[in-house]
Amino acid sequence: MPNLHLCHFEDVATNNMYRLKEEKSRFKVLLKPPKPQPISPLSAPINPALLDPESQQILTTLQSISASLLPSISERLKKLQLNLEFQTDVFAHEIHDLEQEKEEMEETAQSVLEKSKEKLEERDRRQREEVGTKELPTMEVLRALSKILPKSG
């Protein structure tokens, strides 16, 4: 009977390892930066004869500008893409650092609150002992004080 359980655990472990390896390979694919797409002019040229004269003039201007600016625009976009990837990595790293600092600060704050609570309870206990009301509930002490104090009004 123990061997049956052991075999079951081995099967589960093997399945988990296989699943984790698959997830790791899929994650690695996601981490690879996308390949830059080449910027190309429209796949089908625009027929200027179908445009009105004003649009034909605009098309001619755009075609002449795009032919001269295409290489510089393409290069600039590549630089921006590389810089963007780096900035995204830095941003993700900084977010991770902030999360860690937040957790540390929460732990510190919790510790300070717990110690403060203990000290306040200890002070309260000592004050009750000094006054002689250690065994009495707070409501009883307040009720007794309300009978002693003069009424205002």
**Domain-embedded: residue 118:** yes
Mean pLDDT within 134-141: 78
Classify residue 9: in a domain, yes or no.
Answer: no
pLDDT (tens digit per residue) in 32-74 = 777 766 655 555 678 888 889 998 888 888 887 777 777 888 8
Query: Whole-model pTM?
Result: 0.39
- Per 3-state DSSP, what percentage of the chain is helix, strand, and coil (rounded to 5)? 80, 0, 20
* Backbone phi, psi, residue 40, to 5°: -130, 155
> Are residues 81 and 88 in contact, defined by beta-carbon separation less than 8 angstroms?
no
Tokens of 146: 């309300």
pLDDT at 30 over 60: yes
Q: Is residue 121 part of a domain?
A: yes
Compute the C-alpha angle 139/126/113, nearest 5°: 85
C-alpha count within 13 angstroms, C-beta hemisphere, residue 53:
0
Residues whose CB falls within 8 Å of the CB of residue 95, separated by 6 or more in sequence, listed in order: none
Structural domain boundaries enclosing 111: 63-130
Residue 40 corresponds to which amino acid? S
Whether 99 is in a domain gets the answer yes
Number of domains comprising the chain: 1
Average pLDDT value over all residues in the chain: 81
Task: Give the integer Cα–Cα distance in Å for 81 and 29.
Answer: 18
Q: Tell me if 17 is assigned to some domain.
A: no
Q: Which of 37, 35, 58 is nearest to 48 (CA)?
A: 58
Residue 38 covered by a domain: no
Burial class of residue 12 in the structure, from the number of CB atoms within 10 Å of its CB (0-12 exposed, 13-18 middle, 19+ buried): exposed
